[in-house]
A = this chain, B = another copy of it.
Amino acid sequence: MTSTIEAAIQSALAAIGTRGKPNNMYFVACGGSFSQMHAAKYALERESKSIAADTYSSAEFIARNSPRLGKSSVVVLCSKSGDTPETVAAARFAKERGAYTIGLTAKGDSPLAQAVDTRLDYDATPDASSADIPSAIVLRVAFGVLAKFEANAKYDAVIAGLAKLPAILATAQAQHREATLAWAQERKRETVMYTMASGSNYGVAYLWACCILQEMQWIHSQAIHSGEYFHGPFEITDFDVPFVLLKGLGDCRNMDQRALDFAGKYSNKVLEIDANGFDFEGVDEGVREYLTPFVFLPLLRAYAVALSEARGHPLTVRRYMWKMEY
């Protein structure tokens, strides 16, 4: 974890403190950055006694124009390039309404960085620690708020857990290396592939479906919520329909297990990745479920790379994005 980010978070918390305890936190971004906001909403809802939390795609956040957005709000935004027009507009909109704005971006001199009260610069290169991916930084902001305003006792455990993440991830990647390559060969001809998760990991499934499979591989997909699976989507399950299922920790795990039991019975193409296999030894049990997305996300990146290589379709290829006005 970089000390610059920690210092900036503490400075933001001090500034928010002068306004009193926030009533609500809005987590606002688009696409891959949006997907990285869900884990913080989940943690706040599990932990907070009084702060409402929600995630919005940036344009919808502005359009909803909630009267509850104001001086008692903290709005956390994220854009890797820092120039996603909807997210920059959302930052300006929130600031005009009096909210305290925090912006994550990999480009420090970008319009988003300039629009917000506190900017958090993150490293978007492949060398970045998994403890410094946007969703992990946003979780630190959430737990910082919980610690400062509600005396939530888990902050230190979260920080200690994040420090162990690179080692946890390295072990998981080594354990999955062979499976990654075998899976990519088996799935390289698929034209449809579903992902499933719940709780803290739903955002990872959303990213995998929308930004990896649809955007980078042109494979049809949907992130199905493990609990919702049984109330409609499970009817498309068949022996040849592929699923990637993320089995989390905590109280949502039962939902994932139930979805896995069913999908595994009727489809021959279910990839299960179980967070119980991650080496969380030494990490406080009460915060493990909050950290699983930061292992799943880089781990799934390895699956994406393997799939793209097996398909001869690099993850960098686009037909529309960045190539035209839209």
**B-binding residues in A (CB < 8 A):** 24, 30-32, 34, 42, 45-50, 52, 54, 57-60, 62-68, 84, 86, 191-192, 198-199, 209-211, 214-216, 218-222, 225, 227-228, 230-238, 250-252, 254-255, 258, 262, 266, 318-321, 326
Contacts and interface: CB of A to CB of B under 8 A. Distances in A.
15 contacts: A30-B228, A45-B66, A48-B66, A52-B54, A54-B54, A57-B227, A63-B198, A63-B250, A84-B231, A191-B192, A210-B233, A211-B231, A215-B232, A215-B236, A220-B220
Contacts of A48: 66-68
Nearest to A210: B232
Given A42-B64, A59-B255, A64-B45, A235 B216 contact: yes
Contacts of A216: 235
Contact of A234 (B67, B84, B326): B326
Contacts of A320: 234-235, 237, 262, 266
Nearest to A241: B220
CB-CB nearest 3 A-B residue pairs: A31-B231, A222-B222, A210-B232
How many copies the complex holds: the figure is 2
Q: Looking at A67, A198, A210, A231, which has the most chain B CB atoms within 10 Å of its CB?
A: A231
A237 B320 CA distance: 9
Contact of A52 (B52, B225, B251): B52
A21 to B, nearest CB: 14
A257 B228 CA distance: 29
Most buried by B among A30, A60, A225: A60
A22 to B, nearest CB: 12
A68 B42 contact: no
A60 B255 contact: yes
